[in-house]
Amino acid sequence: MRKDLLTNTMQPKKELVRIVIDKEKKVAVDPTGKQSGRGAYVSLNPEEIKRAQKKGVLERSLGATVPESFYEELYSYVDHQKARKELFGDQ
Protein backbone atom coordinates (compact mmCIF):
# COMPACT_ATOMS: atom_id res chain seq x y z
CA MET A 1 0.00 0.00 0.00
CA ARG A 2 1.20 3.49 -0.86
CA LYS A 3 -0.22 6.93 -0.23
CA ASP A 4 -1.54 8.73 -3.29
CA LEU A 5 -0.12 12.23 -3.21
CA LEU A 6 -3.07 13.67 -5.12
CA THR A 7 -6.00 12.17 -3.22
CA ASN A 8 -4.25 11.57 0.11
CA THR A 9 -5.59 7.98 0.25
CA MET A 10 -3.84 4.64 0.68
CA GLN A 11 -3.97 2.47 -2.45
CA PRO A 12 -2.26 -0.68 -3.72
CA LYS A 13 1.09 0.07 -5.33
CA LYS A 14 -0.02 -1.36 -8.69
CA GLU A 15 -2.84 1.21 -8.81
CA LEU A 16 -0.31 4.08 -8.68
CA VAL A 17 2.64 5.39 -10.65
CA ARG A 18 5.84 6.67 -9.02
CA ILE A 19 7.26 10.09 -9.79
CA VAL A 20 10.95 10.43 -8.94
CA ILE A 21 13.33 13.36 -8.62
CA ASP A 22 17.07 12.68 -8.76
CA LYS A 23 20.07 14.57 -7.37
CA GLU A 24 20.20 16.82 -10.45
CA LYS A 25 16.57 17.87 -9.77
CA LYS A 26 15.34 16.04 -12.88
CA VAL A 27 11.74 14.85 -12.49
CA ALA A 28 10.68 11.63 -14.26
CA VAL A 29 7.98 8.98 -14.37
CA ASP A 30 9.29 5.76 -12.79
CA PRO A 31 7.13 2.89 -14.07
CA THR A 32 9.42 0.27 -12.49
CA GLY A 33 9.38 1.93 -9.06
CA LYS A 34 13.11 1.28 -8.71
CA GLN A 35 14.89 4.43 -9.88
CA SER A 36 17.02 6.11 -7.27
CA GLY A 37 15.86 9.41 -5.86
CA ARG A 38 12.99 10.82 -3.88
CA GLY A 39 9.67 9.42 -4.99
CA ALA A 40 6.00 10.23 -4.77
CA TYR A 41 3.07 8.11 -5.88
CA VAL A 42 0.12 9.41 -7.89
CA SER A 43 -3.07 7.71 -9.01
CA LEU A 44 -3.79 6.59 -12.55
CA ASN A 45 -6.45 9.25 -12.94
CA PRO A 46 -5.84 11.86 -15.67
CA GLU A 47 -8.22 14.37 -14.07
CA GLU A 48 -6.21 14.25 -10.83
CA ILE A 49 -3.02 15.01 -12.78
CA LYS A 50 -4.58 18.15 -14.25
CA ARG A 51 -5.82 19.23 -10.83
CA ALA A 52 -2.39 18.61 -9.29
CA GLN A 53 -0.77 20.75 -11.98
CA LYS A 54 -3.06 23.66 -11.20
CA LYS A 55 -2.44 23.39 -7.46
CA GLY A 56 1.33 22.76 -7.70
CA VAL A 57 1.13 19.58 -5.60
CA LEU A 58 4.20 17.91 -7.13
CA GLU A 59 6.33 21.03 -6.76
CA ARG A 60 5.60 21.21 -3.04
CA SER A 61 6.11 17.51 -2.45
CA LEU A 62 9.30 17.12 -4.46
CA GLY A 63 10.77 20.52 -3.59
CA ALA A 64 11.60 21.41 -7.18
CA THR A 65 10.14 23.13 -10.20
CA VAL A 66 8.25 20.67 -12.39
CA PRO A 67 8.28 21.68 -16.08
CA GLU A 68 5.09 21.87 -18.14
CA SER A 69 6.47 19.20 -20.48
CA PHE A 70 6.66 16.73 -17.59
CA TYR A 71 2.99 17.20 -16.80
CA GLU A 72 2.19 16.47 -20.45
CA GLU A 73 4.32 13.30 -20.31
CA LEU A 74 2.73 12.25 -17.01
CA TYR A 75 -0.80 12.89 -18.30
CA SER A 76 -0.12 10.82 -21.44
CA TYR A 77 1.38 7.98 -19.39
CA VAL A 78 -1.49 7.92 -16.89
CA ASP A 79 -4.12 8.16 -19.62
CA HIS A 80 -2.49 5.26 -21.49
CA GLN A 81 -2.23 3.11 -18.34
CA LYS A 82 -5.85 3.80 -17.42
CA ALA A 83 -7.01 2.81 -20.93
CA ARG A 84 -4.88 -0.35 -20.77
CA LYS A 85 -6.33 -1.29 -17.42
CA GLU A 86 -9.88 -0.80 -18.70
CA LEU A 87 -9.16 -2.83 -21.82
CA PHE A 88 -7.23 -5.72 -20.29
CA GLY A 89 -8.32 -5.57 -16.64
CA ASP A 90 -6.00 -6.41 -13.74
CA GLN A 91 -3.09 -8.58 -14.79
* Amino acid type, 14: K
Domain count, the chain: 1
pLDDT in tens, 56-73: 999 999 999 999 999 999
Domain extent at residue 74: 2-88
Q: How far apart are CA 71 and CA 38, in angstroms?
A: 18
Whichever domain contains 65, its CATH number is 3.30.1230.10
pLDDT of residue 25: 92
Kindly report the pTM of this predicted structure.
Answer: 0.86
What do you get for the CA distance between the two ends of the chain, in Å?
Answer: 17
Calpha distance 31→20 (Å, rounded):
10
